[in-house]
């Protein structure tokens, strides 16, 4: 059993394949967290918690004569403000009398087969043999507030999920000001050496998302979160706690990933006892949810994963888990079509003839899906008008979308569209008809971005209207792919559909409306490939992956910038989810010129596509594009279904970035490298591979060198080495050395194949 209850010592133990998570019901009714670490079977671990009289830490009334028992230093499974625990709380609530806080005590628990579900919210899934659920109910006697803590235990995946449901069992209203899904007290220093904790988080900005930053924990509270109405470009909802001596391949790591796309907040507090508390879930700053008697509120899920396998081990656990237990689209197991997007070549300036010529040229080069981006609808010639009017602009597309779709399908291609359902321009028929559907503060001019406003997705009328519009659009025009964009964050957080005392619910109700619309459309059209986008990577999170199997990684398509963006993203999110395209040079965002083949090597480590005008390519680039289409399909399985390895880690790259994919059976290894800084009088580049069959024998089946000034085109030191048989052990222990490379951003792609036999 993955979940066990011991009646004698009142412990509840959650086991996964390699970890144990244990809590204990104390005599006072507090639920104490005892342990989360390497698997330990059949033992009560309450001896780990030592009671200490800590000055200015108060006592519960029933323990008033035992000063060593204080809520302020107990390792609590779930904490609330106003209970004598001064650490960062998971729950902040206000009673009808204005009393802040709650005193949560154990009521009951239950264990069931299979994984719990969360109504209206994305959440991991697992059948009876894949997961078990623990329901742990706590209650505040004074107010009647009940908190049900939900634990999903995925034994084989080494993952535990957390969620919380709040119910008002009393006879007066209660306001939730913070309702976190996870509270985790870690009373011990990490690692066998008892070292210090460090925090890795993914910060950034538009066009430079998910930059990894690793910092020591300080005494106090470090917060990673977003108040923008979206998970944001700036602070991704994924954090990692690790031991100070953790490396890429070894050491303790604890990953925390909220399954949510709106305002989020993760607090990490290092307290007076040198213990760490993590509180994570929905963002609290702009949140306030009223629970009337009999009402309930469901908080979003948080995924927990712990490993001693270093950053690489954590990455593999999250990649596997998200692919198997979170992403639902049937496209996750299919080869994605090689697409080309019209935006960087045409923006909004096109007509039907121009689009058809674009598609015809792309078809000659191996493209399988043509995506018409912004500008096809309403009075849309730039980003100042037309959002909300989702009917074709017949001045550009005579007869609407259907003739264009039919013509592109007749070329043997799929056809896709860009949409931005959650937004509206003031200069649109929709806004003129329903100005009350936009979020706006009464009596104040709205805050605009890109000259657009945000629709109130928490309003049922808005969701129903958008569902009707886009369902008909997909059905009537034979749409094969949808790029779902969101190009601004929420500032005017006020809904005319809600009374004043419920305005704190706007942001979360907005996300519930987005999730409902996505759920209905993706459920009705499972054959359509949906790709999420929010100005690029502004909503690259687990919540979105529940509905769409891929997300446009960043609006920055510069290959050299993408090396950092994609490396940071892939710490927690699967490579198969990262939208990545080859764009034209000089690059639109940076002005940089990078070799065509190097751009392809970087983009191929994602969903792969093109963001350029094929008519403007040179004959050599067209030849390369056709060859890339073939290479994409040949390497698809090893990239999308193989293990991902950061060969140069997260820091200390020394002028180059290298990564690899190894097929599940170890039969193929695709090594990729891009030189970001060249030097005079330089030396070779040494790489050690990982993930191979140590006893297998490998040959270099293919070597591609791009943008390198070398007449012979060789990358290994001796031509004979390209015919040599290597052992897996030698490639991992001794490695390979590549010849020095000159030029602007040269790239390398090496395919090693196992040839069988023992070393």
| Contact call for residues 63 and 73 (beta carbons, < 8 A) | no
What is the DSSP annotation of 163-177? EEEEEE-SSS-EEEE
State how far the Cα of 12 lies from the Cα of 31, in Å rounded to an integer.
10
Q: How many CB atoms lie within 10 A of CB 249?
A: 14
Q: Which two structure tokens, joined as six digits, stand for 290?
A: 């009223």
Is 196 assigned a catalytic role? no
Mutual angle of helices 460-477 and 506-524, in 10-degree steps: 20
Residue 161 gets which letter from DSSP?
E
Q: Give the end-to-end CA distance of the chain in Å, rounded to a whole number.
A: 41
CA separation (Å) from 609 to 348, 371, 534, 625?
20, 10, 18, 10
Q: State the DSSP string of 507-527.
A: HHHHHHHHHHHHHHHHHH-TT
Strand 369-372 to strand 339-341: parallel, antiparallel, or no bridges (unpaired)? parallel
Whose tokens are 């237990």? That residue is: 325
625 DSSP assignment: H
Measured between alpha carbons, how far is residue 754 from residues 10, 670, 716, 720, 736 in Å?
52, 12, 19, 18, 16
Per the rule left: phi > 0, alpha: psi between -120 and 50, beta: everything else, 656 is: beta
Complete DSSP assignment for 338-368? PEEESHHHHTT---HHHHHHHHHHHHHTT--
Helix axes 352-364, 401-410, angle to 10 degrees: 20
Q: By C-alpha distance, which of 179, 124, 129, 184 is closest to 152?
A: 124
Q: How far apart are CA 664 and CA 642, in angstroms?
A: 5
For tokens 């107990």, the residue is 74
Q: How far is CA 744 from CA 365, 503, 594, 627, 750, in A?
A: 26, 54, 7, 22, 19
Buried b (16+ CB within 10 A) or exposed e, 677-700: ebeeeeeebebebbbbbeebbbeb
Whose CA is closest to 670, among 649, 693, 645? 645
Percentages of the chain per state (helix, strand, coil), in multiples of 5 = 20, 30, 45
CA separation for the pair 403, 398 (Å, rounded): 8
For this structure, is 561 an active site residue?
no
Instruction: Determine which one of 77, 185, 541, 558 is catalytic.
Output: 541
d(CA 667, CA 662): 7
CA distance 532 to 540: 8
What is the C-alpha separation between 368 and 479, in angstroms, rounded? Answer: 14
Q: Give the DSSP letter string of 429-489.
A: HHHHH-GGGB---TTSPPP-BTTBEEB-TTSHHHHHHHHHHHHHHHHHHT--EEEE---S-
| 39-to-20, 21, 31, 45, 249 alpha-carbon distances in Å | 5, 8, 21, 12, 19
Q: What angle do helix axes 596-603 and 559-569 make, rounded to 10 degrees?
A: 10
Please name every residue paired with 716 in a beta bridge, in sequence order, or none if there are none.
738
Selected catalytic residue, list 248, 492, 621, 706? 621
Decide if 93 contacts 138 (C-beta within 8 A).
Answer: no
H or E element in which residue 402 lies: helix 401-410
| Cα-based distances in Å from 54 to 58, 64, 184, 410, 548 | 9, 14, 21, 76, 50
Positions annotated as catalytic residues are 541, 621
């Amino acid at each position: 059993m993955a979940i066990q209850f011991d009646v004698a010592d009142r412990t509840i133990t959650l086991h996964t394949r390699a970890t144990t998570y244990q809590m204990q019901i104390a005599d006072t009714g507090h639920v104490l967290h005892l342990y989360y670490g390497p698997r330990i079977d059949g033992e009560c671990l309450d001896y780990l918690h030592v009671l200490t009289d800590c000055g200015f830490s108060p006592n519960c009334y029933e323990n008033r004569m035992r000063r060593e028992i204080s809520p302020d230093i107990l390792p609590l499974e779930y904490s609330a403000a106003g209970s004598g625990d001064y650490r960062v709380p998971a729950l902040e609530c206000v009673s009808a009398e204005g009393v802040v806080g709650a005193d949560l005590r154990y009521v009951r628990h239950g264990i069931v087969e299979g994984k719990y579900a969360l109504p209206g919210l994305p959440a991991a899934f697992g059948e009876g043999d894949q997961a078990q659920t623990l329901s742990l109910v706590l209650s505040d006697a004074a107010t009647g507030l009940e908190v049900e803590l939900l634990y999903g235990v995925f034994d084989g995946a080494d993952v535990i999920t957390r969620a919380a449901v709040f119910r008002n069992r009393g006879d007066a209203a209660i306001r939730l000001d913070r309702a976190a899904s996870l509270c985790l007290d870690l009373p011990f220093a990490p690692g066998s050496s008892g070292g210090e904790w460090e925090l890795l988080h993914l910060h950034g900005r538009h066009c430079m998302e998910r930059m990894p930053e690793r910092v020591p924990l300080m005494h106090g509270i470090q917060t990673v979160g977003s108040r923008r109405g979206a998970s944001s470009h700036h602070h991704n909802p994924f954090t990692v706690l690790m031991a100070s001596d953790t490396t890429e391949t070894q050491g303790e790591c604890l990953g925390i990933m909220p399954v949510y796309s709106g305002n989020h907040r993760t607090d990490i507090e290092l307290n007076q006892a040198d213990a760490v508390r993590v509180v994570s879930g929905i963002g609290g700053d702009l949140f306030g949810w009223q629970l009337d008697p009999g009402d309930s509120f469901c908080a979003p899920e948080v995924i927990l994963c712990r490993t001693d396998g270093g950053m690489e081990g954590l990455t593999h656990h999250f990649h596997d888990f998200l692919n198997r237990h979170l992403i639902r689209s049937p496209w996750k197991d299919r080869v994605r079509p090689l697409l080309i997007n019209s935006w960087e070549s045409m923006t909004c300036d096109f007509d039907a003839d121009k689009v058809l010529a674009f598609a015809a040229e792309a078809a000659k080069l191996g493209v399988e899906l043509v995506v018409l981006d912004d500008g096809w609808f309403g009075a849309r010639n730039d980003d100042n008008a037309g959002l909300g009017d989702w009917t074709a602009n017949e001045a550009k597309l005579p007869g609407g979308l259907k003739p264009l779709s039919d013509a592109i399908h007749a070329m043997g291609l799929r056809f896709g569209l860009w949409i931005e359902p959650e937004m509206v321009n003031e200069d649109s028929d929709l806004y003129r008809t329903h100005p009350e559907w936009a979020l706006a503060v009464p009596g104040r001019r709205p805050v605009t971005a890109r000259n657009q406003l945000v629709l109130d997705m928490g309003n049922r009328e808005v969701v129903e209207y958008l569902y009707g519009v886009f369902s008909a659009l997909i059905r009537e025009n034979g749409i094969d792919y949808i790029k779902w964009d969101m190009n601004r964050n929420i500032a005017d957080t006020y809904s005319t559909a809600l009374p004043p005392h419920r305005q704190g619910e706007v942001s979360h109700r907005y996300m519930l409306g987005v999730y409902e619309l996505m759920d209905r459309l993706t459920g009705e059209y499972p054959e359509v490939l949906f790709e999420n986008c929010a100005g690029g990577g502004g909503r690259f999170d687990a919540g979105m992956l529940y509905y769409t199997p891929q997300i446009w990684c960043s609006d920055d398509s510069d290959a050299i910038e993408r090396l950092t963006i994609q490396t940071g993203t892939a710490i927690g999110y699967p490579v198969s989810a990262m939208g990545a395209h080859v764009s034209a040079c000089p690059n639109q965002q940076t002005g940089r010129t990078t070799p065509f083949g190097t751009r392809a090597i970087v983009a191929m480590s994602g969903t792969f596509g093109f963001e350029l005008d094929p008519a403007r390519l040179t004959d050599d680039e067209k030849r390369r594009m056709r060859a890339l289409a073939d290479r994409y399909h040949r390497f698809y399985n090893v990239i999308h279904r193989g293990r991902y390895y950061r060969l140069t880690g997260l820091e200390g790259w020394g002028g180059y970035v290298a990564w690899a994919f190894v097929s599940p059976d170890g039969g193929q290894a695709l090594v990729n490298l891009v030189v970001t800084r060249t030097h005079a009088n330089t030396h070779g580049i040494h790489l050690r591979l990982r993930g191979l069959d140590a006893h297998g024998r490998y040959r270099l089946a293919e070597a591609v060198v791009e943008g390198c000034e070398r007449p012979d085109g060789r990358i290994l030191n001796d031509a004979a080495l390209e015919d040599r048989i290597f052992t897996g052990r030698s490639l991992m222990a001794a490695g390979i050395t590549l010849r020095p490379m000159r030029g602007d951003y040269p790239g390398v792609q090496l395919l090693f194949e196992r040839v069988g036999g023992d070393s």
